Structure 1
């Protein structure tokens, strides 16, 4: 059973007495915190390197917020942050590790319902421009932020419409500011420009205080309920006029604003997080619940998949003279999580055999073939996805090339999707060994697995593929001779 989708306890090297529930003195340092969870991904500026920490916040029954930092690779991070937003969680805390440190264990109390990340309709965001009390700079004028959400190429309403095939938009988004925070810069960020990667929670930006104070000073002028609607704004972008802790952050924050209590999709942006729109698109993706993707080199750095705005948002991008680097499309797996593909647009083998299919470039507004192929790996919870990408549209025009791109999906790791590549690896899964073109065959690398896909030829909007599933690549025919069903006879060249 996938632990991210179930009630699950994750103990982390607890002393035997603690694990056994003993009342001995060994238990005394530990305490349990239970409440409503929210989480945010930290994304460092590319110049800093490093992985992605997670900030987990639990609001207890007394209204006290408890924040924890889960460093990259933390054993406690065996849950999907996008699926615990606003749900109940229990955290086992060892005070000897220090306030805000990595939890000793986590219990997810509420299972996310099927389709929890499905997204449609208008998703308006309000951008709040907040100045630290002792920092006078206003890096961009208010008009920059209001126009950022327009429905024209290079702007975010146009961007999310194109990615979702007009299933979502951000109509109704707005911006307000600049407003002045009640405290100086270092009250919120101990060492501006660094801290999010050093493993010491005392050096991290105080995301809770930043959210509380920024929304607080704006609240007299902003109706977060949007006139008393049931859900109000879909999300809040907090735009600051100085560096945070070396990271931009995206996820959610549980709060009550203008009578609405919910996990508000949220981003926390230093100036470099909005001077180029690509990192802002990345953080908004986290607000929508999307995780990172990764490449195949297993280096723990989730920013080296050139095909995905939720990984490498900085490379192989298009640019705009006003808004800098633009977000590219996200990968097919993520679009399917958000239910932007219909069931008929995702192909899965109906039985073992040889199949001929067309997979279209999913960045295009319409598809003559499938938008994604999904190939389950027998006896596991993993599967492969095949997608076509090309230098097309407003946002994908600078991708590495025209190819079929393969990802392995395994939802029990921090990045569900890993871009597959044979050795030698390229820097960002952007080399020839990660791009399957006409005449090339992807083969599951594990011996004995009968899964392969050959790229036969380009089509008007993608590639024609031959899929061998559960049969060797020497197989010539689809199932049909065995069953007598001649409607399924189709010769395929090995």
Structure 2
């Protein structure tokens, strides 16, 4: 381990010297990690955290500036846990590091594009389909003996019963993925106390910092004799004490059991693994999904209770075994992972003729000969004209949601939900709110568009009327540019 680390350090030093005077293209695995704070009193939370890094073949990690990485990739999240090529400029950024010019996939047959950096990511994540086997590894710090849950608890979380992860991911993906073969192991003793992995800062403004790489390396090494990591897609790490106040989800690019690749990964303290909703949230990050948000413009990304990738806790069904259950994922993120078939998706460009469409509830199963459901739309996309920068375009998604079922039963209402996507290079969905100002949390009437109500997009390119309700959703009418009678914000009328 020491020799490999030394080699990695030398490789990183050599790379830094080589780019000091000229631009350079460097390949490696792209690690993206999201940190999610524990809910505090009154449901207050700290800010979300986000880290990006390029992992070189020798194991060295090059931290990437998140904003530069988003701009350079176009759609950074589509490249999570993949091999990429990064072009660094010869000039330094204002922060002092090397500026990122472009990030493109390097794991596709179009290798010339990766080496030549002729364009950015195409905005399409690799589909996540079929068997996605996860393994839970529970580890305890050498100075903390408590084991909050037996290993059987973690194993049973992967089950196929209502309120269990196998059942949840099968339902939310329209049976696109399965967790068959997922298992749990532990508790394994870490070689060091918690203080070795978590740096505690003093003072009101100080922030603890968890060494996620060391936690991953030591926990998987402790379990290596029992677990064949080469056979799994994702690794859920469970720790028996608080980390840095956050649960983390994303990726880890390394070599395990002879396999050299990026694993979907999560780092969970007890408050996270005791509830299925935050655990599913972190697994979503492991699949490369970013946060969602609402449209109130603040820096709180946890105020959209229509999506487990935003607010895991509010409007959640709760059971006595696994606590808060995860609600579904918004339709954009389902589509990004390849779970929405083309027949259930429709795109309407700005300036198109007035169009009437039936939009079925996103929570319904896919149509079969037995259930009698029609091939209606589940995802409606309103596409704005491309801006001069094609990776800064905005679009809107429309879906139907209602409080029903094992995971959606506590939603705020039965309505059409609209999200805006694409601002500031972030492929993060922001729920739209007709209230002025927008509510702090999107469980208000302003975020739910019901029969007789209409919405005008902030750019005034689209008007959406919820015309009627059906047994399986709503009929909406999408028109072109409406006559402008108000301000620039979204408007509702009856």
The question of whether the paired residues in 1 share the 8 Å contact of 2:30 and 2:79 is answered with no
Query: Does 1:121 find its partner at 2:130?
Result: yes
The question of whether the paired residues in 2 share the 8 Å contact of 1:53 and 1:69 is answered with no
Distance in 2, matches of 1:106 and 1:190, equals: 29
The question of whether the paired residues in 2 share the 8 Å contact of 1:89 and 1:107 is answered with yes
Distance in 1, matches of 2:65 and 2:200, equals: 17
Query: Does 1:357 find its partner at 2:357?
Result: yes
The question of whether the paired residues in 1 share the 8 Å contact of 2:433 and 2:442 is answered with yes
1:418-454 alpha-carbon deviations (Å, 9 max, x no partner): 11112132232111111100100011133xx341111
Deviation, 1:118, is 1.1
Distance in 1, matches of 2:148 and 2:378, equals: 40
Deviation, 1:119, is 1.2
The question of whether the paired residues in 2 share the 8 Å contact of 1:205 and 1:245 is answered with yes
Corresponding residue for 2:216?
A: 211
TM-score normalised by length of structure 1: 0.80
Corresponding residue for 2:99?
A: 105
Q: Residues 175 and 56 from structure 1, CA distance in 2 versus in 1: closer, same or farther, beyond 3 angstroms? A: same
Deviation, 1:127, is 0.3
Name which of structure 1's ranges 373-382 and 334-343 shifts more when overlaid on structure 2. Answer: 373-382
Distance in 1, matches of 2:438 and 2:61, equals: 43
Corresponding residue for 2:151?
A: 142
Secondary structure of the residue aligned to 1:265 is strand
Query: Does 1:463 find its partner at 2:463?
Result: no
Deviation, 1:31, is 12
Deviation, 1:412, is 3.9
Name which of structure 1's ranges 106-115 and 148-157 shifts more when overlaid on structure 2. Answer: 106-115
Distance in 2, matches of 1:462 and 1:172, equals: 35
Query: Does 1:38 find its partner at 2:51?
Result: no
The match for 2:454 among 417, 421, 441 is 441
The question of whether the paired residues in 1 share the 8 Å contact of 2:140 and 2:240 is answered with yes
Distance in 2, matches of 1:373 and 1:347, equals: 5
The question of whether the paired residues in 2 share the 8 Å contact of 1:93 and 1:103 is answered with no
Query: Does 1:370 find its partner at 2:377?
Result: yes
Distance in 2, matches of 1:93 and 1:239, equals: 41
Q: Residues 466 and 37 from structure 1, CA distance in 2 versus in 1: closer, same or farther, beyond 3 angstroms? A: closer
Distance in 2, matches of 1:451 and 1:236, equals: 43
Query: Does 1:155 find its partner at 2:164?
Result: yes
Deviation, 1:69, is 7.8
Unaligned runs of 5+ in 1: 1-20, 226-231, 474-493
Matching of residues 270-309 of structure 1 within 5 Å: 270-309=269-308
The match for 2:178 among 162, 169, 173 is 169
Name which of structure 1's ranges 37-46 and 317-326 shifts more when overlaid on structure 2. Answer: 37-46
The question of whether the paired residues in 2 share the 8 Å contact of 1:278 and 1:314 is answered with yes
Deviation, 1:469, is 3.0
Distance in 2, matches of 1:121 and 1:267, equals: 20
Distance in 1, matches of 2:20 and 2:127, equals: 43
Matching of residues 5-404 of structure 1 within 5 Å: 35-47=28-40, 49-67=45-63, 77-78=70-71, 79=73, 80-86=76-82, 87-89=84-86, 105-111=99-105, 112=121, 115-191=124-200, 203-225=208-230, 232-349=231-348, 352-366=352-366, 368=374, 369-380=376-387, 381-404=393-416
Name which of structure 1's ranges 60-69 and 436-445 shifts more when overlaid on structure 2. Answer: 60-69
1:323-358 alpha-carbon deviations (Å, 9 max, x no partner): 000100010111111111111101223772111111
Query: Does 1:416 find its partner at 2:428?
Result: yes
Distance in 2, matches of 1:69 and 1:131, equals: 32
Distance in 1, matches of 2:306 and 2:405, equals: 14
The question of whether the paired residues in 2 share the 8 Å contact of 1:82 and 1:251 is answered with no
Distance in 2, matches of 1:157 and 1:62, equals: 35
Q: Residues 94 and 348 from structure 1, CA distance in 2 versus in 1: closer, same or farther, beyond 3 angstroms? A: closer
Deviation, 1:189, is 0.8
Q: Residues 171 and 103 from structure 1, CA distance in 2 versus in 1: closer, same or farther, beyond 3 angstroms? A: farther
Deviation, 1:302, is 1.1
Computed over aligned residues only, the root mean square deviation of the Cα atoms, in angstroms, reads: 3.2
1:72-110 alpha-carbon deviations (Å, 9 max, x no partner): xx565545245142323366899999xxx9955334443
Unaligned runs of 5+ in 2: 1-18, 106-120, 367-372, 388-392, 485-493
Distance in 2, matches of 1:102 and 1:212, equals: 30
Alignment coverage as a number of residue pairs:
432
Q: Residues 205 and 129 from structure 1, CA distance in 2 versus in 1: closer, same or farther, beyond 3 angstroms? A: same
